[in-house]
Chain A
Amino acid sequence: MLALQRKLFRDLWLIRSQVFAIAMVIAAGVGVCIMSLSTWKALELTKDTYYREYRFADVFASLKRAPLGEMQRIRAIDGVRAAQGRVISGANLHIPGFAEPITGLLSSLPQAHELNQLVLRRGRYPDPARSEEVLLSDALADAHRLNPGDQLAAVINGRYRTLRITGIALSPEHVYQIAPGAILPDFKRFGILWMPRRSLERARDMDGAFNDLVVQLSRDADQARVIREIDRLLMPYGGRGAYGREDQLSERFLREEFGQLKTMAYLFPLIFMAVAVFLLNVVIQRLVATQRENIAALKAFGYHDREIFRHYAELVAVIASIGILLGIALGTWLGKGLSNIYMEYYRFPFLLFSLPLDVLLLVCPLALLAALGGSWRAVKGAADLPPAQAMRGELPVDYKASWLEKVGVTRRLRPDTRMVVRYLERQPRRALIAIAGLSLATAIMMVGSFQMDAANFMVHVHFDVTQREDVQLGFTEPVAQKALGSLRNIEGVRYLEGYRSVPVRLRNRQFHERINIQGLQTDAQLQKVLDIEFRELRLPPAGLLLSERLAQNLRVRVGDLLQVEVLEQGQQKVQIPVAAITQQFFGMSAYMNVDALNRVMQEGRTFSGALLQLEPGTEEGVYRELLDMPRVAGIGVRQAMLNSFNDILERSLLTFTFINTILGGVIATGVVYNTARIAFSERARELASLRVLGYRQGEVAYVLLAELGILTLLAIPIGFVIGHHLCAFLASQLQSDLFRVPLVLESRTYAMSALVIVVSSLLSGWYLWEKVRGLDLVEVLKTRE
């Protein structure tokens, strides 16, 4: 090993605590990156493999009822490789010992080689000869600890049936197991049942018919054309409009969620690495300053600039490499953990997790380049030091009376305080760098907890302001107004409102969205609509209200005309103007006055479901009665949704946030510690002189601690501003069709990030205190000049 390399390793050992602090910051950045990217990649790969191996369909359509004979015409469409007509039915499920309603989805069991193959987790397939045998989706089974052999009750088509579970299964169609219309999965209250086709046909009176279609396309098929053909064929059978995989409920949610994961996978590391790079620059610059004489000597011996450059670049590279290696280990470990947490929500039969080589090939060189780039100036400065100048050491800073003193502010200050003020004022660049580092650390901490604040606010607005019902129910078929009377008579129902929900395709030029228009009563109390400023919006007598995201997707503004294609019986096509834009955090919605909607549908006052407010304590009885009503297709309990939402938040988002907060804390501490260390080593001689002159340890430490304190106090508010902007950026990047993340920052978030910085400062202050105590007066004064 060459002597210069030996110097490299000895130097590294000498500044090992700083090396460790920087390596940890880099490790945090690389770790977050690897964690998020490997999780995202693993989930994408798992999804693609699952879809392929279990023949997930490309095009879906639901309809009222068509004879199976129609399937031949569908299979004959150019571009259709395979197609199956299925029977699908809603059901209310009842599990012994669980009082709340459970929404069930019944599907005919796919035959071998048909599309949307199931994965049988446990047990066996049902016997086609036994009409009570079913397969149950694993999420509901897990949530209620149901096993093959157990029984559950279902109200299908108004008839009460007892079913026996023969096996637990998964389907690529339901990776994201969410009830239609829900905003988040609720494994306790939603499940899928698969029945042999004959049994379900009989239960739904669908002999020789189908009400749902799945299609696989050939490789070069034109999907839009196939969808048009299917729509044309199914129109007479009450077709509700075919749609591609991209609009399939589970896939759409997955795509949006994976998209968010990807955004975070790129965004967080970016922020973390930026701070790491900044820190590296500061530390290397400091290191170079302490090694000026070494550099001068090396140059005097004839070392080339490029050799000096390489030496310090190697130093940076070694530090970065330590950080990168730590980051890879950390990221892989966290990524595995995080993937497994996601696996609880995405019902995949397997997880294909590996450390993706392309991620490594991207992240490692990038991190290394970022580190080198960040310290470029410092390293270049070292190489460019003219040897004679380097030998003379740094010139003393030119201190003059500051403007603060000229105005007389500092006249009353003690000499030591004056030293602090002058130091900060005369070396504004160094003070600014320290403040920048500390404020970035503050900002990073805020980014961690911002997501939680946003989620809490979203929950508050959705569940406390807009959705005020206790129970929401849907009917199997739209009903006339008088049918609501039987609901009103149930004991415990205090108040109710009907609503109309119509599946439509909204179209503006080439932009279109499939969505349900919610028809609300003018004076609706249980479902509020908010305008952009969160003010309650009174429903206009006509016109469409679109949530912001929906309006954006369709490129429409208030006053524009939208083409509305009804996807229910009647298949009306009408033009309706946009009357207002609404504020909404979850999903996308379109609202209309129910009377106007009824007019569009050319029907009398008709409702698709109702919102109920209950007397406290009567819930169980009401649920039981509702479940016995043949027309009630599904029930949603607000409190249950809220609980499951919080549960999901805690397990998934909180985990991610928690990890980010920890890593943010690592960075914050790294920055503060380095700032303190640098302040000490820059002024060791000065402080030793004070000690020699008879200053006590406390008085000397005061000079340093006061400086650190002032820097910290200046940095925190600046950090708040930077943090606010970072969060705003993050919020703008996290918008999707599923969520709109508001920029909400609780005072707790500010307090928390300030606290971490203050505690890091106190710890670093304690370190300084110890350093001042250990100051070797003789040794410090002996070194040159």
Chain B
Amino acid sequence: MAKPVYSGGRHFQSRLTCITENRWRLTDHSYNANVWNAGMVHMDREQVFHAEGLTKVYPMGDLEVKALRGIDLDLYRGELVVLLGASGSGKSTLLNILGGLDSASSGEAWYCGDSITSASLETLTEFRRRHVGFIFQFYNLIPSLTAQENVAIVTDIAANPMPPLEALKLVGMEARANHFPAQLSGGEQQRVAIARAIAKRPEVLLCDEPTGALDSRTGVVVLQALERVNRELGTTTVVITHNVAVRAMADRVIEMTDGQISSVYVNPDKKTPAEISW
């Protein structure tokens, strides 16, 4: 088994770019007899994330809290995955590790063949800067910047971004481009956050409870925006939620319990967000 070896930021970047060009290149992860991959409908598609035996332990005073207890996982290009689970099941920890925000205690994870778990902080920063878009439950907009400026804060440092206004248009927020977060409703703020996340044209979009703070009607609007980005830009999208209704719009639903993956479900008939309610 030939594990890809990380050998420096520049190499990491060039590999990632080249993979984007060879969209259908097969990776040699056939060693993985993991149940979750067996019989996958996506077997022929390109792997974006691959994780093996990921664990995460938080020291809490004298105690140790095991947030992840050995996760094996593959995510594929262009799919929309819903990560379900109760509070404390380890969803956010997994997402943070995949997004390069947090480190794993053991196990390994790769993005397009390059190790995330053994990369330096500097490389992880580069990785997030170029390839990952984040959406948080509490939007995390910068209160002192307008909607458009909040998007610009990402496009300023991205290699090939779309204009901030175009990103806002994708989520239907162009009319409120010059409003400050305090002048926007929760749903509007989250749509700005989505615009901000997609404006750099990321390969993956990681969403931690994007509708968690929103009512059903507003939540649907936000989900529509996510679905549209996934469909039109082909962005691999992972949505964390404890809202079971959201599973209907996923390609795959991964359920987590107690730091482990308890089930994976391939959704045969994807619904549009408009058909969902809770």
What is the bound-complex CA distance between A4 and B142, given in angstroms? 10
A98 to chain B, nearest CB (A): 70
Whether A2 contacts B125 in the complex (CB less than 8 A), given A293-B140, A297-B140, comes out as no
A494 to chain B, nearest CB (A): 80
Residues of the A chain whose Cβ atoms lie less than 8 Å from the Cβ of B52: none
CB atoms of A3 and B101 under 8 A apart = no
- Secondary structure class of chain A's binding surface, majority of residues: helix
Residues of the B chain whose Cβ atoms lie less than 8 Å from the Cβ of A296: 140
B156 close to A (CB within 8 Å): yes
A784 close to B (CB within 8 Å): yes
CB atoms of A300 and B134 under 8 A apart = yes
A7 close to B (CB within 8 Å): yes
A379 to chain B, nearest CB (A): 18
Residues of the A chain whose Cβ atoms lie less than 8 Å from the Cβ of B125: 299, 302-305
Look across to chain A and name the residue whose beta carbon is closest to the beta carbon of B208. Answer: A391
CB atoms of B145 and A391 under 8 A apart = no
CB atoms of B140 and A2 under 8 A apart = no
What is the bound-complex CA distance between A375 and B153, given in angstroms? 24
CB atoms of B129 and A302 under 8 A apart = yes
CB atoms of A6 and B145 under 8 A apart = yes
CB atoms of B136 and A301 under 8 A apart = no
Q: Give the interface residue-count category, chain B.
A: 20 to 34
CB atoms of B152 and A2 under 8 A apart = yes
B104 to chain A, nearest CB (A): 11
B122 close to A (CB within 8 Å): yes
Interface residue ranges of B134-189 to A (CB < 8 Å):
134, 136, 138, 140-145, 149-150, 152-154, 156-157
B133 to chain A, nearest CB (A): 8
CB atoms of A4 and B153 under 8 A apart = yes
CB atoms of B145 and A7 under 8 A apart = yes
CB atoms of B126 and A302 under 8 A apart = yes
Whether A784 contacts B138 in the complex (CB less than 8 A), given A6-B149, A300-B128, comes out as yes
B130 to chain A, nearest CB (A): 7
Look across to chain A and name the residue whose beta carbon is closest to the beta carbon of B95. Answer: A388
B99 close to A (CB within 8 Å): yes
Chain A interface residue count, CB cutoff 8 Å, equals 27
B59 to chain A, nearest CB (A): 12
CB atoms of A10 and B144 under 8 A apart = yes
CB atoms of A391 and B101 under 8 A apart = yes
What is the bound-complex CA distance between A6 and B121, given in angstroms? 27
CB atoms of B142 and A294 under 8 A apart = yes
B258 close to A (CB within 8 Å): no
CB atoms of B144 and A301 under 8 A apart = no
Residue of B121, B122, B126 with most partner-chain A CB within 10 A: B121
CB atoms of A303 and B129 under 8 A apart = yes
What is the bound-complex CA distance between A523 and B191, given in angstroms? 98
Whether A386 contacts B157 in the complex (CB less than 8 A), given A296-B140, A300-B128, comes out as no
CB atoms of A300 and B152 under 8 A apart = no
Residues of the A chain whose Cβ atoms lie less than 8 Å from the Cβ of B154: 301
Contact with A along B78-98 (1 / 0, CB 8 A): 000000000000000000100
A344 close to B (CB within 8 Å): no
A31 close to B (CB within 8 Å): no
Residue of B126, B132, B149, B196 with most partner-chain A CB within 10 A: B149
What is the bound-complex CA distance between A247 and B211, given in angstroms? 85
A776 to chain B, nearest CB (A): 12
What is the bound-complex CA distance between A404 and B141, given in angstroms? 43
B234 to chain A, nearest CB (A): 20
Interface residue ranges of A4-28 to B (CB < 8 Å):
4, 6-7, 10-11, 13-14
Residues of the B chain whose Cβ atoms lie less than 8 Å from the Cβ of A13: 144
Residues of the A chain whose Cβ atoms lie less than 8 Å from the Cβ of B129: 301-304
What is the bound-complex CA distance between A307 and B143, given in angstroms? 19
Residues of the A chain whose Cβ atoms lie less than 8 Å from the Cβ of B142: 7, 294, 297-298
Residue of B126, B150, B156 with most partner-chain A CB within 10 A: B156
Contact with A along B54-98 (1 / 0, CB 8 A): 000000000000000000000000000000000000000000100
CB atoms of B145 and A10 under 8 A apart = yes
What is the bound-complex CA distance between A386 and B150, given in angstroms? 21
CB atoms of B153 and A7 under 8 A apart = yes
A723 close to B (CB within 8 Å): no
CB atoms of B152 and A301 under 8 A apart = no
Look across to chain B and name the residue whose beta carbon is closest to the beta carbon of A304. Answer: B125
Look across to chain B and name the residue whose beta carbon is closest to the beta carbon of A294. Answer: B142
CB atoms of A3 and B122 under 8 A apart = no
B102 close to A (CB within 8 Å): yes
Whether A7 contacts B144 in the complex (CB less than 8 A), given A301-B134, A302-B132, A304-B125, comes out as yes
What is the bound-complex CA distance between A784 and B138, given in angstroms? 7
A448 close to B (CB within 8 Å): no
A387 close to B (CB within 8 Å): yes
B194 to chain A, nearest CB (A): 13
B267 to chain A, nearest CB (A): 28
Interface residue ranges of A384-412 to B (CB < 8 Å):
386-388, 391
CB atoms of A391 and B136 under 8 A apart = yes
Residues of the A chain whose Cβ atoms lie less than 8 Å from the Cβ of B144: 6-7, 10-11, 13-14
Whether A2 contacts B156 in the complex (CB less than 8 A), given A300-B99, A303-B125, A388-B102, comes out as yes
What is the bound-complex CA distance between A385 and B196, given in angstroms? 22
What is the bound-complex CA distance between A386 and B153, given in angstroms? 19
What is the bound-complex CA distance between A310 and B121, given in angstroms? 18
Look across to chain A and name the residue whose beta carbon is closest to the beta carbon of B145. Answer: A7
Residues of the A chain whose Cβ atoms lie less than 8 Å from the Cβ of B130: 302
Whether A297 contacts B134 in the complex (CB less than 8 A), given A7-B144, A303-B157, A387-B101, comes out as yes
Look across to chain A and name the residue whose beta carbon is closest to the beta carbon of B150. Answer: A3
A339 to chain B, nearest CB (A): 44
Look across to chain A and name the residue whose beta carbon is closest to the beta carbon of B96. Answer: A388
CB atoms of A302 and B157 under 8 A apart = yes
Residues of the A chain whose Cβ atoms lie less than 8 Å from the Cβ of B134: 297, 300-301
Known A-B contacts: A3-B152, A294-B140, A303-B157. Give 11 more (CB < 8 A). A3-B153, A14-B144, A293-B140, A297-B134, A297-B141, A301-B154, A301-B200, A307-B157, A386-B101, A388-B101, A784-B138
Q: Can you report 27 A-B residue pairs in the complex whose CB atoms are below 8 A from each other?
A: A3-B149, A3-B152, A3-B156, A4-B156, A6-B144, A6-B145, A6-B149, A7-B142, A7-B149, A10-B144, A296-B140, A297-B141, A299-B101, A300-B128, A300-B134, A301-B128, A301-B134, A301-B200, A302-B127, A302-B130, A303-B157, A305-B125, A387-B101, A387-B102, A391-B101, A391-B140, A784-B138
Name A's B-contacting residues (CB within 8 A): 2-4, 6-7, 10-11, 13-14, 293-294, 296-305, 307, 386-388, 391, 784
Name B's A-contacting residues (CB within 8 A): 96, 99, 101-102, 121-122, 125-130, 132, 134, 136, 138, 140-145, 149-150, 152-154, 156-157, 196, 200
List of 9 A-B pairs having minimum Cβ-Cβ separation, nearest first? A302-B129, A10-B144, A388-B102, A3-B152, A302-B128, A297-B140, A3-B153, A388-B101, A387-B101
